[in-house]
Amino acid sequence: MFAIYKRELRSYFVTPLGYVFIAVFLAAAGFAFSILVIFNALTSGRSDVDTYFTVVIFSFAILLPLLTMKSFADERRTRTEQLLLTSRVSLPGMVMGKFFAAYTVFGAAMLASCLFFIVLGRYGSPNGARIFGSVLAVFLVGGAFIAIGLFVSSLTENQLVAAVGTIAVMLFFLVVGFLSSYVSSPALRAVLGWVSVYSRFQNFTSGIFDPAAIIYYLSLCFVFLFGTVRVFESRRWA
């Protein structure tokens, strides 16, 4: 697994992809932070941290597919997939190596964006518990979305199809909670609320540490990573 991890992590930085992702992520987060947090802190004395983190997780639907779209689709396109399937690395190890490589790049960008809160400490009065909870939730959502991206990438050899498919699935998990208000059936409304990534995220932005939400995000990550392994198991023996 570690060999796959090193190879994938290196591939992000021998091409512009890793630098582009980090630059675009920090630019988008910095713009949202300056408008929603610093500007409000200077004008009204209150920083709108909740909306800032909401913008961040919705931006994942566009940015994270940049990291995952090539992970397996490019292996199929360049016909190097068989080398992976016949190597001594186990299929779970191969999938986890690619997952942790993408998660490392994402985590580096996210940690760099956390430096913005040093500025907030000078111009406002941030709530440490809410910020910590929100950052934790962002890392959990990011992990789940990267797992989704890897799964979609494993289904196709076209990077554009992988990116568009990943965006569609991510947006579904983000907006499905909003659809519950238009559903008359209490049972279906409960199911939509349970599936929603965003409704659980709101607990953290409110300063509520929700263990059930943590289990949900980790379970979502596990299900899609397991699904990716199953895709390659079926392909290995096809």
Find out whether 99 and 147 touch, Cβ atoms under 8 Å. yes
pLDDT of residue 45 exceeding 60: no
Q: b/e map of 155-165 (b: 16 or more CB within 10 Å)?
A: bbbbbeebbeb
pLDDT of residue 14 exceeding 80: yes
pLDDT of residue 71: 87
Q: Say how far apart CA 16 and CA 100 lie, in whole Å.
A: 19
pLDDT of residue 227 exceeding 80: yes
- Output the pTM of the full model: 0.91
- Tell me the domain boundaries of the chain: 2-236
Residue 183: what residue type? Answer: V
> Which one, of 27, 33, 24, 26, lies nearest residue 52 by Cα?
33
